[in-house]
Structure 1
């Protein structure tokens, strides 16, 4: 599989696709961006340009972007194809069949799917061994995490090539060893959201205070080490063994008390109104502040050896 990537085709010019495009351009690639759904070219180009500014990319990077209306045309001649289209299985099957026909057999075909495993669409291809999922965390030009998931027909060489390319782009790829709905990270998020929605729905806490609690408490530690390493450090000299011995039984009681809320219209309205009140400054303003903080946090983690490569884990 190709790892010397010079030309990247990105199919889908939504938020994920444009973010991927900006990342690849910033790392010296030529990018062929296609959007079968017909997103206006000017809008896509402006979005990619904004991402390049986020990354402090050289001015000439934007000149390596070409825009296409046909996915197969964009994929022809590419060394890597990243699909970032709608989460519709029938659409992905048709698209990957077309991408498979348009590219050389040693070109990786990577889907950004947030929930589908590659086995559900790679059998539409003549060369399914080079099809995998490379699920980024939004926005992928800033957040390093990428979940790499192989399917029933994905070759070990394809997995290794994807990991190599992503490392070269400064990403933090993790190998997910099972095909699960939502992969791993979205399942972790869904577990937290389930309890958060229930706590809001039962009146235990407001939307704004719940977000404050996570962002100013566990979220700060999770951003540095993750939940299990953080739990280990909280155990003092005894580490994880001490935590599980003394806090494990109460934690099981908390698990047993968790409920399964229904996403009723009433709860939906409560969540929507709550977050609108919380973000009264406006989504664009908050998003810009968040992205600036992300850049500074990533730089700090790198300086302290707690970066996307895994920190102090020799």
Structure 2
């Protein structure tokens, strides 16, 4: 198949193939269905269809709690083979386990089966796009399309073209995800962990260091984020928050007056090791914070609060659109 200059995007995408239907793929399927798209799904597990049905039911329940999509729900079609799943697909989302040879072989098979104007996105959280593209005859349309967990609720999708990916493929994926209510971002250069996971890792490194150095407990670190900067981060990103912190002078004033203090703090941040003693402190501290609550209870609580936050953000966006005359996404 020859390279193309235009890919199916936005409202041209009516059918999505979901390849790999574990937690990530299952919740992707729920999101696509909720947005009125037909989903053709495949997974090699013997109980894959049953497992997918459970994920979709739970995911649709969460999404309905956030609010109606305004679209008729799509059809879920379970397929016996990859070839059957990608037949007629306008976009493909791959969600195989994080094993590079497995993903490369799978993406090569998908690439050989779908038309050249169909973008193939991978949910990988760790592999660069250039490695995923290595075995494909049409590497330009194979990109990273990495969601944040839980993918049906968190709007972010990170898009990476890699060394051989076509900017037009990223543009098409961007238009598609924006059209269905996701918030895509372009990662201009490949980096381990893409974008958001790099920032999350930087925060957790210092959170681990604080526990390892005896500065605060696991629970107090979590409380400090939940009831401090975490609240602001749900409203604005780090650069904007520091801009607001600079008062009338904005970010420039902050950098001029408080930049040296910020650099001094950076100089004191730790580089902890996950050795036996640090792991013991973290695990014991987490057990104290969990206080006997089951994982299901903790997950449900997280999702319940996410749903409430998303509803509030949707109301705020609707109000802003009404003032500016813009239509809702």
- In the superposition, the TM-score normalised over structure 1's length comes to 0.92
Aligned to 2:20: 12
- Output the CA distance in 2 between the equivalents of 1:303 and 1:49: 25
Aligned to 1:220: 231
- Output the CA distance in 1 between the equivalents of 2:283 and 2:115: 46
Moved more, 18-27 or 49-58: 49-58
Q: Which runs of 5+ in 2 are unaligned?
A: 1-6
Asked whether the equivalents of residues 36 and 71 of structure 1 are also in contact (C-alpha less than 8 Å), the reply is no
- Output the CA distance in 1 between the equivalents of 2:257 and 2:194: 31
Report whether the alignment pairs 1:285 with 2:297. yes
> How many residue pairs get matched?
310
Q: 1:284 to 1:147 in 2, by over 3 A?
A: same
- Output the CA distance in 2 between the equivalents of 1:132 and 1:193: 27
Moved more, 10-19 or 208-217: 10-19
Task: Give the C-alpha shift of residue 111 in structure 1.
Answer: 0.4
Aligned to 1:144: 155
Q: Deviations over 1:270-299 (max 9, x none)?
A: 222322321232222222122122122122
- Output the CA distance in 1 between the equivalents of 2:156 and 2:129: 19
Matches within 5 A, 1:65-104: 65-104=76-115
- Output the CA distance in 2 between the equivalents of 1:270 and 1:134: 35
- In the superposition, the TM-score normalised over structure 2's length comes to 0.88
Task: Give the C-alpha shift of residue 67 in structure 1.
Answer: 2.4
Q: Deviations over 1:234-278 (max 9, x none)?
A: 121121122112221111111111221111122223222322321
SS of residue matched to 1:124? coil
Task: Give the C-alpha shift of residue 123 in structure 1.
Answer: 2.8
Q: Which runs of 5+ in 1 are unaligned?
A: none
SS of residue matched to 1:173? strand
Task: Give the C-alpha shift of residue 60 in structure 1.
Answer: 7.8
Moved more, 266-275 or 162-171: 266-275
Q: 1:38 to 1:108 in 2, by over 3 A?
A: farther
Task: Give the C-alpha shift of residue 37 in structure 1.
Answer: 4.5
Q: Deviations over 1:96-153 (max 9, x none)?
A: 1100111111111100111212111213111111110111111111111111110222
Aligned to 1:270: 281
Report whether the alignment pairs 1:41 with 2:53. no
Report 1 or 2 for greater relative contact order, CA contacts < 8 Å, sequence distance ≥ 6: 2
Q: 1:114 to 1:39 in 2, by over 3 A?
A: farther
For the aligned residue pairs, the C-alpha RMSD in angstroms reads 2.3
Report whether the alignment pairs 1:160 with 2:179. no
